[in-house]
A and B are shown apart, each in its own frame.
Chain A
């Protein structure tokens, strides 16, 4: 394609690859339109330099025109308070013009045009070619609202306006049609900000060569927030503000009021809203129940309970099947490939390691499906509403609930989700305690340990006992998070005040497509991200478990053989293979590591094999299971016990003959894994989000101490 001859033949080359940014208020249906446009061609990354999720995808507009669609975080205006909203301004005002999106598609809810148009007029005034999409046309029709698209388009400066119902796909073709034509940006500003602060705006425009007045005005407004403005420029801008009396807050108020005044005039001419007879909508009636002081909390509890039951009950069938497949595959490799290092690396390291991850996909998918459902239906904001006051008591706020619940899936997106919390102190405390929420990486560990010591029986005939213990573990994490937040509230001091001004969207049926996309995307991320670490750790671990310093392994084996020959113990002779394998592992590098930390972990009831798992799972908790799978696979005969749980259950202490994973040990491990900061990626994200090592270090130390002390207490209590 990039053949220079081509360029010569067809010059100038028509732009066949557009970049289109989707912008809009939260709850305007932006993600539905994004999914509609991009389908399965989506990918998630980070905006360069920031940890905010960047969703992008490809779409075909017409003929040979394709486009990259970028989904920007939802925002109500260009004046961001929360960290994620800042990205919008950063992308739209990128100093290199080629890196700005070619077109901004602004999605507006047709039923609340006034508020939605505020953002539109601001974006339009940045001289970005814009298209206005009026979404939820079906609801507007039902209410009897009618919008004169021609008048609206004309009065907004001849911008293309498309009416859509993203749920049914109505209007999609028209949107694509509009986007495949060249779109001009409006020549005249919707609101001329120049008279508001003429000297300073002129100064900035000249100094930095920005294209229009509104952009120059935004440089002044957002000097501290824009990432591409460096410290020197920021200082310059501040001095310009001072020199000409540019008061950002006052000007924002004036600008916003002016915009609303003009928008109201336009809407008077373009929109006909029927005199609404005051009757409570279905959504309001549902709220009467779901925000009720008794029924509200009860429903919340029931929903959570349902999630945990589902994770255990529904997921077990596919999980057993995956478990069986990987065990069979391991055995097949061992039996059918020629003996050798590669075969044993595959059968004992890689396959069990990868299997240890894939098996948890069903549970993770269910968890993410529920979280997506809660978001999609509009229920999540009711949870924020219900919990705000409780959360404030411990130093968090209602919005902390979303990261905390997301933390049930994974701390990394959850910590990134704290970017929607406007107050720094609230956000910091949320970041500090979110990793205590039981994430999906703990799920494998919990599942295995609970299955080991809790019978799979039912209580009252239908409630799964293992599900109850699992829920208890989640509750434990939640209580620990609240407790830690309360302690931190007393320590962290700040003058900034926190607030909660939040839209409560009407309840809607979830769009299953959106839920599906979320589940697919999150499961994929889990498998590949966690998979990478586990894959690497499995290989390293296999090497460490298969080789030892000098000829320790050979000597150890020799000793066991001699011991067997000299004694007449029939048990030892019969289990010679197992005894040799154990001695090999004990003398390997991994074994030496485990032995080395054994004195520290013995008070918790752990042996050196668990010690190895503890060390490796400081990288990521789910490695525990992979480690167990690898450690117990090494030298294992694949014919009898095929599953990891079976192998762990039969594991006995060679000296005492006691079961290794007896209840006291399993419970102690459960608590340790609930509290310890065993996740490199979380530490890295906290470092990025708090811009320094102070908080991640404090966090790692306090969580590890909490884990050790609690595990110690639990072990002593149960043994």
Chain B
């Protein structure tokens, strides 16, 4: 992947409340396994529910349940 593509890659934190997306990949980090375990799997549809009043963390819907994660962590999740 070249730099231009990297910049174009959208991540979960960039969605707006109510928007849907499909997970493409989880960036490699110490949190990858945790995110996978919680069901953030490539190919899954994810919905951005809302953000916390102070802007962080956010709530998303995945596999029919609500998951809360920080902006920082959501930026590890690449979406299309």
Q: Are B67 and A501 in contact (CB under 8 A)?
A: yes
Interface string of B52-75 (1 = CB under 8 A from A): 111111010001111111101100
Q: Kindly list chain A residues whose C-beta atoms are within 8 Å of the C-beta of B69.
A: 499-502
In the complex, how many angstroms separate the beta carbon of A286 from the nearest chain B beta carbon? 12
Interface residues on A, range: 35 or more
Task: From B37, B57, B63, B73, give the contact of A112 (CB < 8 A).
Answer: B63
How many contacts between A and B, using CB within 8 angstroms? 108
For residue A678, CB closer than 8 A to chain B, the reply is no
Contact A502 B67 (CB under 8 A): yes
Contact with B along A348-389 (1 / 0, CB 8 A): 000000000000000000000000000000000100111011
Is A424 part of the binding interface, using a Cβ–Cβ cutoff of 8 Å? no
| Complex-state Cα separation, A76 to B32, whole angstroms | 14
Size band of the interface chain B makes with A: 20 to 34
A114 in contact with B52 (CB, 8 Å):
no
In the assembly, what is the distance between CA of A249 and CA of B57, in Å? 26
Contact at A388–B53, with CB atoms within 8 Å?
Answer: no
Q: Which of A256, A292, A293, A503 contacts B65 (CB 8 A)?
A: A503
Give the chain B neighbours of A618 by CB distance below 8 A: none
Given A398-B57, A500-B57, A501-B67, decide whether A389 and B52 contact each other with a Cβ distance below 8 A: yes
Q: At the interface, yes or no: A390 with Cβ under 8 Å from chain B?
A: yes
Q: How distant is B40 from chain A, measured CB to nearest CB, in Å?
A: 9
- Cβ distance B70 to chain A, nearest Cβ, rounded Å: 5
Interface residues as binary, A275-299 with B (CB distance below 8 Å gives 1, 0 otherwise): 0100000011001100111001100
Question: Residue A81 at the B interface, CB < 8 A?
Answer: yes
Query: Do B36 and A504 have beta carbons less than 8 Å apart?
Result: no
CA distance A505 to B66 in the complex (A): 7
From B31, B36, B70, give the contact of A257 (CB < 8 A). B36
What is the minimal beta-carbon distance from B9 to any residue of chain A, in angstroms? 19
Residues from chain B with Cβ under 8 Å of A504 in the complex: 59, 65-68
Given contacts A256-B37, A291-B53, contact A111 B64 (CB under 8 A): yes
A107 at the interface (CB under 8 A from B): no
Q: How far is the CB of B7 from chain A (nearest CB, A)?
A: 24
Residues in B with CB closer than 8 Å to A111 are 64-65
**Contact assessment for A112 and B64 in the assembled complex, using a CB-CB cutoff below 8 Å:** yes
- Output the least CB separation between B12 and chain A (Å): 12
Q: Is A41 an interface residue (CB 8 A)?
A: no
Contacting residue for A388 out of B30, B35, B38, B52, CB 8 A: B52
Please state if B33 and A256 are interface contacts (CB–CB under 8 Å): yes
Interface residues of A in 248-279 (CB under 8 A from B): 249, 252-253, 256-257, 260, 276
Bound-state Cα–Cα, A386 to B68, Å: 11
A79 within 8 Å of B by Cβ?
yes
Q: From A81, A118, A291, give the contact of B34 (CB < 8 A).
A: A81
Determine whether the beta carbon of B31 is less than 8 Å from that of A501.
yes
A135 to chain B, nearest CB (A): 14
Does A115 interact with chain B (Cβ within 8 Å)? Answer: yes
- In the assembly, what is the distance between CA of A355 and CA of B10, in Å? 64
| Contact present for A252 and B33 (CB under 8 Å) | yes
Cα distance, A504 to B60, chains bound together (Å): 10
Q: What 7 pairs between A and B have smallest CB-CB spacing?
A: A293-B53, A389-B54, A504-B66, A115-B39, A252-B33, A501-B69, A77-B37
Q: List 6 A-B contacts (CB under 8 A).
A: A79-B37, A111-B64, A112-B39, A386-B53, A398-B57, A500-B68
